[in-house]
Chain A
């Protein structure tokens, strides 16, 4: 298969303008998600580097191919971080390589802190991208509040390279924290776990992570040391009825990267309202491994063997009935070619998205079919 390595926005624009057929847009190559696309690979990981970082203004601008690790280490040097906690899919997908910031924004990849701080899309202040005709477009900027014209930054976030190829992103960053602790409640079934997490998230104590892993509820508190200690003690009192509560340091990458599901043949990422999390789990076939993040609102499910396509249809049907969306993050190519990997949209919405794709990519060359056939 043909592959082009591009290192500048001009080169991306030229490649788009001259493209003869479908293009597979690749950053770090870590996200083999969606309906498989056959076409020339356009590798944009060469557009790399932090171009502006103002810690006092909480803003950072980077070329889209910049590795997330490079950005995180630049931020760490100033005691700051990406608050939306982008996940790393290499473990789930069995891929290698370095996740890029463009890939993170293009897929709106957010981790456990999303529930308090917001998603990747909430921290994207501005983008530059090249549309399917080779036109370079900018939107947003590098300031924290900006309502000048339509918010195409949000539209690009989570568009998986189907509307344009990101070349540069501006991000809002936040201070790191002095202290972190996790409260752990053992032995809760999914429905009890969601009740406990809802109680915690509905309190004034600023829980920055609420997950259910292997029968344990994890509640993360972050901030200044005294404040963390105070809130931990308050939450212990509030949640006493749910059982013994231990306080410990845990590795939140377990939840962020869905570590318990690594090695499964098929992995789903399902967003529903938190109280529907247990019903999603109940609708999955026996032998499915699950964990809940976002207080129950995000279910990760992994399954090996069985009829993946049938399970997938059942999961999406159940989620459609309750409101939300299920994505088959990992599955055999044959299955992903045959099923709607992303949650099918209602007809009115599907018409709008199809029409938007056609406007930004009239020739159908940008990851065609990746999100919807």
Chain B
């Protein structure tokens, strides 16, 4: 993956930049020893690595503001980092950058059950937001697979989703307000505990902007009371086509499950091997979860299983206990680890209209044969967000490139059938160069105009989201102006 050539002028001024950063941060919050900056050389897209020039770990909004102001004055690019769990390379450094990690900012600032919100510092992990309110019966709804580790800052940057967003929405639907520091150090408050914007919806465009518009240091999040209960049903079918038709029928019947998860034959076997979830051996598997009281769950599951039966399931198992529910989910939630145990893999994230599922799965199967790389499919079927996992051998020369070529072909197919490149992981560096397949030059120009407004010098996470050739004039102009 091509990255911009590090700015030699910035590298030459490293000592001065470090000194200035040390003047505003505690000594242990500025990391410039090359041995230690290695810890920040990559995120969860581990195929690409580059140690940053410096890493800083501010603890307050004021410290973030000082760091950004200094970097702005010095013309140093800044790459914000949550917990480093991005699968798209969103937190991949450049050699001339300052990594700004929010890990030390993890306080709960305010919890308000009457108004149903929590305000946190954004270094706090997704799961520990729920952790702060669950003894009182509340939870924070978006639940990315990495929720044990991933930070709210990264969730906001990537507009993260999760298995349960069919009912509860993704980050942008659950974010009420932010404190954000702009690249020049200006602190702005956007939104709050109230709903919707009185002016332009800046919150809506900040969420999902991949750390390119500002560094969000505090967030007000909507919390909900936990449902009385939840229960999954497991269904096995002969083929992906049949499972896809069943999903469409469930949705058309007016039931809105909290989650509909799909796994194909390969993933079923790999996950079963790893998690012993007692999955049936079959062509495709659905996990459908509904919520409510016992009686409400019974009624919904009766409707759902009636629909499933019309599609001749080879297995149909309603969970009978909390233990069984946990086991049904254990396999699905372990999907990435399970496949990671047997192979290196690349996880794609394209979204397609659900009506196109059977066609796209068949085409992916054909591509798998063409490239000679195995692929497993697991995805959020209710909303068409696919996660094909392409296996490759990192130690075999050329295999990564082959895998990337395969992945690009799949994502182009997603766009072709009316979908998009990424449903919840973000563009980062991984899908940057495919953006021209989804968007025309004018579409990208409009997005870049927004970055111009928030970060005129293009110093915040500059080499992401947009194809390098497309953003080059802006990044180049910013450099030349120094």
Contacts and interface: CB of A to CB of B under 8 A. Distances in A.
A256 interface: no
B452 to A, nearest CB: 7
Contacts of A155: 200-202, 204-205, 450
Contact of B186 (A154, A198, A348): A348
Task: Give the interface residue-count category, chain B.
Answer: 35 or more
B192 A159 contact: no
Contacts of A372: 199
Interface in A123-147: 131, 135-139, 141-147
Nearest to A346: B189
Interface in B396-448: 418-427, 431, 435, 438-440, 442-447
A345 B438 contact: no
Given A202-B114, A202-B225, A227 B299 contact: yes
B454 A352 contact: yes
A143 B384 contact: yes
A356 interface: yes
Contact of B161 (A145, A157, A178): A145
A359 B169 contact: no
Contact of B248 (A56, A275, A276, A326): A56
A201 interface: yes
Given A144-B384, A274-B115, A356 B299 contact: no
A353 B255 contact: no
A151 B421 CA distance: 14
Interface stretch (A3-11, A14-22, A66-74, A113-121): A113-121
Contact of B435 (A148, A153, A154, A204): A148
Question: Quick one: which of B196, B292, B423, B431 has the most chain A CB within 10 A?
Answer: B196
Given A148-B427, A348-B187, A55 B418 contact: no
B159 interface: yes
A174 B226 CA distance: 22
A54 B357 CA distance: 14
A97 interface: no
A311 to B, nearest CB: 17
Contacts of B138: 202
A202 B116 contact: yes
A275 B115 contact: yes
A353 B187 CA distance: 15
A342 B343 CA distance: 56
Contact of B192 (A149, A175, A324): A324
A168 B293 CA distance: 41
B446 A348 contact: no
A201 B351 contact: no
Contacts of B443: 137-139, 149
Nearest to A157: B201
Interface in A260-312: 271-276, 294, 297-298
Given A143-B420, A273-B193, A149 B169 contact: no
Nearest to A129: B446
B188 interface: yes
A136 B442 contact: yes
A317 B189 CA distance: 17
A177 B254 contact: yes
B355 interface: yes
A294 B225 CA distance: 16
B17 interface: no
B354 A349 contact: no
Interface in B342-400: 351-355, 380, 383-385
B227 interface: yes
Contact of A342 (B195, B196, B199, B351): B199
A246 B275 CA distance: 51
B464 to A, nearest CB: 11
A114 B188 contact: no
Nearest to B447: A150
A163 B200 contact: yes
12 contacts: A115-B195, A137-B443, A143-B385, A148-B421, A150-B208, A152-B205, A155-B201, A198-B114, A346-B188, A346-B189, A352-B188, A360-B446
Given A204-B226, A345-B199, 12 more contacts: A56-B251, A143-B353, A147-B426, A150-B205, A150-B209, A151-B209, A163-B200, A198-B113, A202-B114, A224-B299, A271-B196, A353-B202
Interface of B: 112-117, 137-138, 158-159, 161, 165, 169-170, 172-173, 182, 186-190, 192-205, 207-209, 225-228, 248-249, 251-256, 292-293, 295-296, 299-300, 351-355, 380, 383-385, 418-427, 431, 435, 438-440, 442-447, 449-454, 465
Interface of A: 54-59, 78-79, 108, 110, 114-115, 118-119, 121-122, 131, 135-139, 141-155, 157-159, 162-163, 174-178, 195, 198, 201-204, 224, 226-227, 230, 271-276, 294, 297-298, 323-327, 342-343, 345-346, 348-349, 352-353, 355-357, 359-360, 371-372
Closest 6 CB pairs of A and B: A154-B204, A325-B198, A56-B248, A145-B423, A175-B254, A343-B198
